[in-house]
Amino acid sequence: MATKNAMAGRRALVSGASSGIGESFARRLARSGYDLILVARNKERLESLADELQSRHGVEVKVLAADLTKTQALRKVERAIEADEHLEMLVNNAGFGTMGRFAELDPAVEEDEIRLNVLALMRLTRAALPGMIQRRRGAVINVSSMAALQPGPTTATYSATKAYVNSFTEALHEELRGTGVQVQALCPGFTRTEFQERANIDASGLPDFAWMDPEDVVEASLAGLNGGDVVYVPGLLNRFLATTVTSIPRPVARRILGTAVRQVLR
């Protein structure tokens, strides 16, 4: 494990660091000696995590409380990124999902989902890349989902936002060849966080083996980054499912999912 001295001056910004996968990224990167900027709406949670990580690992941790669906707050985070000459990693992790028949969902919430999962991720990446390219080092991890791999009846907007994340990240990977800057679209499957509860998804019927812990997702992501994986699905079972889903013709996969969902929502 790298010491603070070996990593001195390296900084990572993690969005959605107040819980789940983002909190695990923050913990793991602090343990590796990264200074951190933690972003989310819940300031108290961020400050408590910052205090803990500073005293435990001797790293510098700043808190930027921001609702990334709001233009002014997003600008504040963009400016912090642009001004940071030591930013080595951006983890675009903040995101949420909605579930239900699209025609019945609240359009304002669907819009916020796109603002957070797509627009904020795009803007923060755009803020980070020029500096990273100039310094010839850096990495952007865009937290996507296995939901990106096929259209999602009852998660239409969510799946579409994550399809954007994968396409965007893959395109950037090609643009960034030879610059020293890496990008990854991280596609977790079911992960034990607050995500399902916030999305009103009842996943209690899922067997234990279908779930990953956020710490394992993060560890796999960073290993994947070292290995140069661009679209990275963590976990053996998830990789098997991803290969299966993407090898079935898309109209067939779509139809199977749609039929299954109609049985459940009947």
**Residue with token string 């800057």:** 181
Q: How far is the CB of 24 from ligand NAP (least distance, A)?
A: 8
Of all helices (H) and strands (E), which one includes residue 38? strand 35-40
Nearest to 236 by CA among 247, 244, 227, 228: 244
Active-site annotation, residues: 158
* CA 154 – CA 173 distance, rounded (Å): 30
Does residue 96 belong to the site contacting ligand NAP (CB under 6 A)? yes
Q: How far is CA 65 from CA 91, 125, 199, 221, in A?
A: 16, 18, 22, 25
| Cβ proximity to ligand NAP, 198 vs 255, nearer residue | 198
Does residue 188 belong to the site contacting ligand NAP (CB under 6 A)? yes
Beta strands in 123-264 (DSSP E): 138-143, 181-186, 231-232
Q: How far is the CB of 164 from ligand NAP (least distance, A)?
A: 12
253 burial (CB, 10 Å; 0-12 / 13-18 / 19+) is middle
Does residue 167 belong to the site contacting ligand NAP (CB under 6 A)? no
| Cβ proximity to ligand NAP, 47 vs 137, nearer residue | 47
The residue type of 230 is V
Binding mask 122-161 for ligand NAP (x = CB under 6 A): ---------------------x-x----------------
Site for ligand NAP in 28-67 (CB under 6 A): 40-42, 67
Does residue 21 belong to the site contacting ligand NAP (CB under 6 A)? yes
Which spans of this chain sit near ligand NAP (rule: CB under 6 A)?
16-22, 40-42, 67-69, 93-97, 116, 143, 145, 188, 190-191, 193-195, 198
